[in-house]
Amino acid sequence: MITQKIVGLVVYAFGTPHSNESNKALVGYVLQLIQQRSEIRFRIYTQNDIQFEFSDMDVTYFPQLHDEEAPPTLRIARGAAQWARHHIDELFVIAATPHRWRALRDTRKAFKEAVVHIPIELANFKHPYYIHDNGLYFYEYESKGIIDDDTGYWFDPNGTQIRATSRKHWEGRERILRFMPYPLYCIVAK
């Protein structure tokens, strides 16, 4: 009997709420990936601000209270490591462009801490998508006020998480996190 490979997708939200343009784009990318690679069994680990509204998908949500702020990336990564321990053959990290370096780093560190030996890669994609009743579409950024460049389109000025509403807000915080020694980062990200 041939066993089907199980690929895990850890999907990190970018901003809040789940209905913001960035998170809808991440959901669209995941759905496109699953559709294109139907021979693979996918399991998804994500947070409340990424909503998959299809019952046939294998989605596990990071435990979080409804009114709780978005959890730190490292905390989600640690949850993903426990989730993946016995269920996944390989793993892809899916995150908005500005968040990718930290999402990948935190995921790899969390899996190493938990002694979970699974290949971890970054899912690369250039253009986000959204789901419409008639199928999958590219976003039209100009009409939504979202900057269309390599990383800028992820910032949704209508989002409720201030750090993800503009590049200026994001980079101010991200610079600190990028250069912070990892042991200190672990304390801050608890």
> Which residue ranges make up each domain of the chain?
6-188
Residue 10, pLDDT score:
96
Neighbours of 121 (CB within 10 A): 11
Q: Spell out the residues 6+ positions from residue 163 whose beta carbon is closer than 8 angstroms to its own.
A: 15, 169, 170, 173
pLDDT tens-place string over residues 13-45: 998 888 888 888 888 888 888 888 888 889 999
Neighbours of 64 (CB within 10 A): 16
Q: Does residue 144 surpass a pLDDT of 70?
A: no
pLDDT tier at 76 (50, 70, 90 boundaries)? very high
CB 76 within 8 A of CB 62: yes
Handedness of CA 170, 172, 176, 179 (dihedral sign): positive
Entry pTM: 0.85
Taking the C-alpha atoms of residue 61 and residue 47, their distance in angstroms, rounded to an integer, is 5
Q: Does residue 151 surpass a pLDDT of 60?
A: no
Please name the residue ranges forming H helices in the chain: 21-36, 73-84, 100-113, 141-144, 167-179, 182-188
Taking the C-alpha atoms of residue 136 and residue 139, their distance in angstroms, rounded to an integer, is 10
Fold classification of 6-188 (topology level): Rossmann fold (3.40.50)
- Joined together, the tokens standing for residue 141 give 């950024």
